[in-house]
Each structure stands twice: as structure tokens, then as C-alpha cells.
Structure 1
Amino acid sequence: MNPTLRIQRFTNPGYPHAMDAVIQGGRIASIQPHQDLADDDATSIDARGRLLLPGLIEPHIHLDKAFLLPHMKEDVSSIAEAIASTAVLKRSFTKTDIAERAKQTLYQAIANGVTHMRCHVEIDPIVRLLGMEVMLELKAQFQDRITLQIVAFPQEGIAKQPGTEELLRQAMALGADAIGGITYQDEDVEMHLRTVFNLAREFGTPIDLHADFSDDPQMLAIRTIIHMTEAYGLQGRVSVGHLTSLGSLPPAQAEPICQAIAKAAIHVMTLPATDLYLNGRNDTHRLRRGLTPVAMLLKQGANVIYGSNNIQNPFTPFGTADPLDTGLLLAQTAHMGSKTDALTLLDMATTRAANALGIRNYGLRVGADADLVLFEATDPRSALYERAPRSFVWKRGQLVASTSKTTAFYPVQH
């Protein structure tokens, strides 16, 4: 059988020389050192030494809350205000409104090379299952362009909003891929987490929590999360987003917690665009960056990745649905500027994220799904620092997006 696609002369940090990849049946059939071959029936792309990576992964985003800026009456300056503002806005959500804003985000992400995404969808008595229904439809509609995982997320709390637990159960029965939680919304954190862990056990899904989103070092629900992860035998199937209060602890107190996170195989998703924007606002001097201690967690062996979280809404007025925008922000604010750091940051948006989301058949290797992105850059640093255009994006070997950038310079008339 003739190959359907050949990508020639690409570079990748995992290979010492220019390589060729052959794609057949939506999967990578071979990866070999480059050689000039006679024409055949394959479609050939000459990468000309440009960087080829597995498709980028967006592991934490809120599609149902994207692009709300035009609807906001006032700006917000705290986590509490962002939650309150969103609670008001979502009372006017409709299926059409959610779908339009989510599609805008999905198309941006696909153009930026994202082939897998995990989104959190609001489940509560305000919107009930409206967002869930939309995300299930979009998951099916976009399945040939991007793989979408859905987290049933109780933004307003569980005990705080009676009826939410049953709505979560209904969302899981409808087909949510993971159960979410938010440790700073209910007063009884242990009861909140017990509900989430029990639902995960009932439906056999992973857990993806919003945890300890604060610069208060006393907010440490992560200790309970570690204990429950081990007690329920869910090592490797629990993720925590934000975890910023850990960054306000002295190193001697934070390090044992980081060790325990790594031991329990809990995935940490730092969300720098939101965390930097909303944390540290009460500091009058020496403002804290409001990030989880990325370097310490990595040193202890924890799987740390990053996500966009929000796109232009009360929590984060920024965002482009480009993981590498987030990666560059993390590079600058977590002091990750070395050549090795650049490789780690790209790994966070690819293989590390795939590990966190339990994605199989992934990677630049023989037998994996041909979810690939070719950059208009020849090395990892250029790809990351310049957020180089994604020349081609493939989903299971099918071209789903391409981008080119041109600049014209004109002579100055004297």
C-alpha cells in the first residue's frame, strides 16, 4: 500500500538528524533518516529542516465561559469578583451563545496546532446541563479536527448549591470524561472532595480539580487531595489546577508537599495567565507572582503542565487559545529561560500533557496517531519564544489547518 503522506526533512529534539515520516491510515507508519526518494503516489511535504512536534494539548480551558468580555458591565479585580461576575453572566447563556463562543475558541486552538483539549463545563442549578449538552454536540462535531475531553465542573460549589450533586451525576451519565471539583467554594472541603472522589469511583473516570487558588499559605486542600488519591487508589488519575497557595509557603514547608504530590502521581496544571492576574493583589510591596512552585515540583518529580484556563472573560481578560502563549508567559515568570527549559516547556504542552489526560497512541513515534504540527521554525526556542506560525496541522493524518505569515518591506521615498 502506498503511503498517503510523507513529511520530509523535519527536525525534532528526539532525533539527531533530519528525518522523514510516513503516514498511513491516520497513523505514523515509519520514521527514518532523510533520504531522497523517487516520486510515488504519496503527498509529500518538504519540511526544509523545520520543527515537527506531536499535536499540542490544551489540558485546562473553559469553553463555555470564553469571550465574555463584551458582555461584562464592570471589570473585576479578585477571584471572588470573577466568580460573582460569571454567575450573573451565565444566567443569560443560551445554547447558541455558548456554541458560538466555544467554536470561536476551538477554531483558534486548531489553527494554533492543538489536537487535544480538556474543557471544564459549568454544572449547577443556574445553567443546569445546558453547557454539557453543547459540549457533547461540539465533541462530536469537531472529532475529526480535535479530540475534546469534558469535565463536569461545579463552579458554584456542591453543598453551597443544593441539587448540584445530582446534576453532576446526570452529567457523568451523559458522557463527561472526568469529574471536577473546586476546593475553595464549599466550607467543608473534605465533604466536597469525598463527593467528587465517590463520583469518580462510581463512573470510573479521572478527577480534575480546581484547588487552592489563593496566595493564602493556609489554604492547603492539597493535603486532603493527596490523602484521598492514595486512599481511593487513584494515583495517576487526579489533576489539580492552580495550586497557587503552595507558592506562598516557605520552601521548607512546601517541599514535603511537593514530594507527596509526586509520590501520589498527581498532575499539576499551572494556569499562569489567570494565576498571575488575580493573585498577589493585596500585597503592597514585593508582589508575589501567584504561581505554584513549578521548579520545586519538577525537581521532586511531579508532572507539571500548563493551560490557558480562560479566554477573555472575568477571570482572564487575555488569551488566544495558543498553548505557546501560555508557555512563553510561564517561561518568563517561572525563570525558565535555558535551552533545557525550552524543551521542558514544549514537553509540558505535548507528552507531559498527554500523560495527564491519559491520551493513548500519542507522540512522534511509529504506531501513534498522526496528530502532528509543523512549525515555521527550525528549533524549539524559536518555536516557543516567537510563537512561530503553525505551517501545517494534521489530525490522524488529515490536514485540518495551515497558516502562513508574510511581511512586506517597502523602499522609503526621498
Structure 2
Amino acid sequence: MDILFTRCFNPTFPTWIDIGTRDGKIAYLKPSTENPPKAEEVIDLGGKLLLPGLVESHIHLDKAYLLEQLTGDVTTLRQAIEKTTELKHGFTATDIEERSLRVIRQAVAKGVTRMRCHVEIDPISRLMGMETTLALKEQVKDSIDLQIVAFPQEGIFNDEETKGLMEQAMEMGADVVGGITYNDRDLDKHLDFVFRLAEKYGKPVDLHVDFSDNADELAIMDVIRFTHQFGMQGRVSVGHLTSLGSVEKEKATFIAKELKQADIQVISLPATDLYLNGRGDKECVRRGLTPVKLLLEYGVKVIYGSNNIQNAFTPFGTADPLDIGFLLAQTSHMGREQDARQLIDMVTNGAARSLGFEQYGLQVGAEADLIVCPVMDIRTLLYTRPERERVYKSGKLVAETTVQVTNHLKVATT
């Protein structure tokens, strides 16, 4: 073995385990009670938590860290789109690369080893973001796997040139076809184009859907229809879906069952959704989230993502997915121990399954993407989100964080 981690805690196993890596893969996994093989390096975790690398399910690298460039406050989705459109006129490849790398470095230090990023495809920045992110994908592959979504933020039929740009983005190597249901002239034409493009290139679909608190905005029903029409069950993800949180329960339950039948993954984006939704309410202000617990109750695959890092859509953000998990725990009434386990699964195994990341997890033959966490249980990890001690990508150490605290508190005796 190259590295042997001994006495590891992970909640999916009944006892402590030993994990060995060889040539970037997990080659050994057995209970700590058995005699482990020899290794060049042995790391005794003493019961500390060992997780597979975190999965960032939805992020916009090319729009990150635009906060300092904004003039005036942004309080609505429409304002966020318009302000960002203005700023895109000043984007350069160097600028996109620098801001993207800033996020990636932070994410890797927090344990992210796989990431799905949405890249702007439009007549303003054209394919600049695509070219830059494709180059980054190659440059950082030893530390993190990037999955690229060709995302038409400005719509597809608002400017006919976008159709050709989307096609070019797929030819260049985009991994996923993106779309947006609330920013184009014709929803049916938009979805038809997206699904046909995905069919042509054999790629999955990832859509921004129903980002509002208007119960009548239910483009998700059209997405479900197209998913069945194109036989894309299990290959469609939708982000936001916040209108569903305003729908009365009987109807919302019906839609949840339809989502389950279509095998559509839902990606909650609470940092952005909480910030921009509910602003029209004068009392009983809605949280503006997709109904996570209802969806989970009916077997819908639900995961979560950071979405934006310090820009017009979300002025917050640390690139640590666990911050988002903690936020979702607080705002979706998920405070039980089993909820904490569910939330960690939603950013590890559940996210990997939903997004099609292969060779993942704590199993022999998987990539040795591992995180050593300085805690002994899942709840402490989620509730305190300590620095990750060590992060490994394919068996190689890619980040290490040491924290030293000196406490000068004095307790008076009585």
C-alpha cells in the first residue's frame, strides 16, 4: 500500500475501518480489528472522521467575486441578472481565470474534489468562459475534477446567436447542457432546444428552474414532460425549484411524486434562494426554498450547492459546501442526527450518484479522494465545520490545514 489510514470513523460502517491506497485508488478496506497490510505511510486517525471528497453540485466560477465591482445594492433576481450582464462586458479570460482559481483553491482546502460548474454562454462573453474553464479543467485535474455545464444565462431565443454558441460549447467539450426556464421568450422552444442538444451529444441536462416564490410559476411540469418525451429519466437535474415551496401541500405532493417518477434530481441553493426570495411578503415572510423534506419524503433525489460566491445573486459565500449544508439544516428544520447524516450524504455519495461522478466513495476500486476531519461524529462536523486536516485527490495530498488555538481565558475560583 502507498498509504494506510487506520482506525477511521465513517457512519456508513458499523465499526472503525482501515483504508489503504495504491496508485491513486482505494485498494484495501476492512474493519480495524483485522491485521492490515504493510504500507509506505501509516496514518492512525484514532477514530477521526474520514469522508470521501466533497462534491460541489452547482457553482458559477466565472461569476464569482464580483461583489467589489457592483455599484448599488441588488435586492431582486431581475436586478442581479441585469447587473451581472453589465459586468460581463468587462470580462477577460485572465479575469475569469483568476476569480475561478480563487474559488477552486478555497474549495479544495475545504475538501471538495469534484465540482459541477455552470459557464456563461451568450453573445456578450461568447465562448470566453468556456475556453477559460476548459483550460482550467486540465490545469487543476490533479487536485479536483471539474464538470462543465454550458449555461445560457441570457436565454437562448432572446438572441438567435446563442443557439450556435451553445452548439459550439458542446463541440468544445462541455459535459452537461444547461438551461434556464425563467429568462427566455418561449419556454417550450427553450426546453426543446436544450433536450435535443443533450440527445445529440449524449449528455445530461442541468436546468435553472422556477426561481421565485410565485406558486403559479411551475415550469417544472414542462421539464417533467420533456424528460419523459426524450427518455432522459435519471439524467436531468434542476436547480432552485423554489416556487414549489409556495405551492399548497396537496399539489406540491403530486409534483414531488411526478419528480420521483421522472427521476429528476433537485439541487437546493439556499444561500441565493433565501437571499432573493420572499422580499415581496409584508408578513409571514416565506423562506423561498424548495421543500426539501417533502421531496425527500417522496423519494426525490435532493442535493445542494453553493451556487454563487460573493456576487449580485449572493453577496455571501466561502466555497465550503458544509456551510450550505448547515444553512439548509437550520432553514429546513433538519436538526436530528439522521438529518445530519442525510445532509452529509447529499454532499458526498448522493451528489456523486446524482451528477454521474464515477469511481467515487469509500469502496475498493474507487478513486482515493479522501478527507480527514478533526471530529469524531457527523453532527459536530456539520454544526462546527472545522478546517479539514488533510485532503487527498487520487491518493495524493492536495491540501493540509493546521489550526493552533491559544486560549487565555481565566476562570476565577470561588
> If the length of structure 2 is used for normalisation, what is the TM-score?
0.97
- Opposite residue 79 of structure 1, the aligned amino acid is L
Report if the CA contact (8 A) 2:56-2:321 is conserved.
Answer: yes
Q: Which residue of 1 aligns with 2:147?
A: 149
Provide the rounded CA distance (Å) in 2 between the counterparts of 1:364 and 1:142: 23
Q: How far did 1:19 drift?
A: 1.2
SS at match of 2:389: strand
Q: Which residue of 2 aligns with 1:317?
A: 315
- Opposite residue 207 of structure 1, the aligned amino acid is V
Q: How far did 1:110 drift?
A: 0.2
| 1:173-220 deviation per Cα after TM superposition (whole angstroms, max 9, x unaligned) | 000000100000113111110010010011110000000001011110
Report if the CA contact (8 A) 2:178-2:205 is conserved.
Answer: yes
Q: Which residue of 2 aligns with 1:179?
A: 177
Q: How far did 1:17 drift?
A: 1.4
Choose the corresponding residue for 1:97, options 70, 95, 104. 95
The 5 Å alignment of 1:353-364 reads 353-364=351-362
The 5 Å alignment of 1:231-380 reads 231-380=229-378
Gaps of 5+ in 2: none
Provide the rounded CA distance (Å) in 2 between the counterparts of 1:206 and 1:41: 40
CA change 1:240–1:47 in 2 (3 A) is: same
SS at match of 1:140: helix
Q: Which residue of 2 aligns with 1:109?
A: 107
Matched, 1:230 2:228: yes
Q: How far did 1:250 drift?
A: 0.3
Report if the CA contact (8 A) 2:76-2:276 is conserved.
Answer: yes
CA change 1:178–1:413 in 2 (3 A) is: closer
Report if the CA contact (8 A) 2:4-2:39 is conserved.
Answer: no
Provide the rounded CA distance (Å) in 2 between the counterparts of 1:297 and 1:375: 30
Provide the rounded CA distance (Å) in 1 between the counterparts of 2:37 and 2:26: 19
| Shift >4 Å, 4+ stretches | 35-41, 411-414
Q: Which shows bigger deviation, 395-404 or 328-337?
A: 395-404
Provide the rounded CA distance (Å) in 1 between the counterparts of 2:7 and 2:100: 36
Gaps of 5+ in 1: none
Provide the rounded CA distance (Å) in 2 between the counterparts of 1:362 and 1:197: 27
Q: Which residue of 1 aligns with 2:393?
A: 395
Across the aligned residues of Structure 1 and Structure 2, the Cα RMSD in angstroms comes to: 1.4
Q: Which residue of 2 aligns with 1:203?
A: 201
- Opposite residue 353 of structure 1, the aligned amino acid is A
CA change 1:411–1:332 in 2 (3 A) is: closer
Report if the CA contact (8 A) 2:18-2:36 is conserved.
Answer: no
Provide the rounded CA distance (Å) in 1 between the counterparts of 2:111 and 2:235: 25
Q: How far did 1:113 drift?
A: 0.2
SS at match of 1:234: coil
Q: How far did 1:411 drift?
A: 6.3
Provide the rounded CA distance (Å) in 2 between the counterparts of 1:350 and 1:413: 41
CA change 1:411–1:199 in 2 (3 A) is: closer
Q: Which residue of 2 aligns with 1:191?
A: 189
The 5 Å alignment of 1:79-98 reads 79-98=77-96
